[in-house]
Amino acid sequence: MNRLKDKVAIVTGSTSGIGIGIAHTYAAEGAKVVVCGRRVEKGQAVVDDIRKEGGEASFHVMDITDPASIEKLVADTAETYGKIDILVNNAANVGLADGRVDELTIEMWDAIFQSDLRGTFYIIKCTLPYMMKDARGGAIVNIGSMASCSGDLGSTAYACAKAGVDMLTQSVALQYGKSNVRCNCVRPGLIVTPQNEAKVPQALKDIFLSNIMVNRYGCPEDIAHACVYFGSDESEYVTGQIITVDGGLNSHAPTVAQFRAMGSRTW
C-alpha cells in the first residue's frame, strides 16, 4: 500500500462523493493529501477520518470558481510541503441548472463552464510551475465524465464542459510532457455514493444497470483506483489518455439492453 509513498497530492472537490474516495485511497497508498473544497466542516471530517486510518492529510478552503482561492491553495501547498507531485481535478458542479440548447441561458452556460472547465484550466496553470521546477515533474489527473462520450437529451452545457476537459487533458500532456509532467483523464460512469444514493431514482438505476456490462453500479473507489495508477510511477509512460470507468456502459451498441431483454443476440 505504498504506491504513492511520500507524494504530495492535491485532490480538489474532496469534501464529498468521488473526491472523498480518492482522498482516502491516496492516503492509504502513502500520499500526503490536501483535501480541499468550500465546506470547512465536511473537509475537516474527511481529514480526521484519514488520520484515524493512519494516513496523512490536511484541509484547505478552495472555491473552484474563485481564481484567488485557487492561487492560495497551490501556493500554500507548495510552501507547506515543498512540492506538489499530483493534482487531481475532481471539483465540479453537476447540480447547476442545465438542459437543452433552447432552454439554456448565457448565464447558465457560463456558470457551468466556469465551474467545470475554467477552474480545471486555472488550477493546472497555477500548479505547472511547481511541477516543472528543477525538472521535478508530476502527474495531473482530470476527472471528466461519460457525458462527453455522446449526445444526450439534456445536460448540454455540462457535457460540453467535460468534453473540454478531455481536450485540455491532451493539450497539457502534449505541451508539458517533455517537462516530465503527465496528464490523463478518468471519465466516471454512474457512481453511487453515500451522498447521492438516496437522490438517484430507482428507475434511473435500473436503466443504467440494464446497460452496464457488469453486475453493479460504480462506487468512488472504482474511480480512485484508476487515479492511483495515473498518479503513481507505474504510469510514467502513460500520458494524454482518457479512460472511461463505467462498467462497460459506453462500450457497446445502444440496442444491447433491449435485445438482452428479448433473449436475442441480434435482429
Which residues form the catalytic set?
158
Listed in sequence order, the residues at least 6 apart from 258 whose beta carbon sits closer than 8 Å to its beta carbon are: none
CA–CA separation, 123 and 131 (whole Å): 12
Euclidean distance between CA atoms 46 and 64, whole angstroms: 19
Residue 138 CA to its chain's centroid (Å): 17
C-alpha span between 155 and 159 (Å, rounded): 6
Find where cell 485540455 sits: 168
Whole-angstrom distance, CA of residue 173 vs CA of residue 171: 5
Measure the CA–CA gap between 195 and 46, rounded to whole angstroms.
Answer: 14
Secondary structure of 57-125 as H, E, C letters: EEEEECCCCCHHHHHHHHHHHHHHHCCCCEEEECCCCCCCCCCCCCCCCHHHHHHHHHHHHHHHHHHHH
Q: Widest CA span of the chain, in angstroms?
A: 63
**Letter for the amino acid at 50?**
I
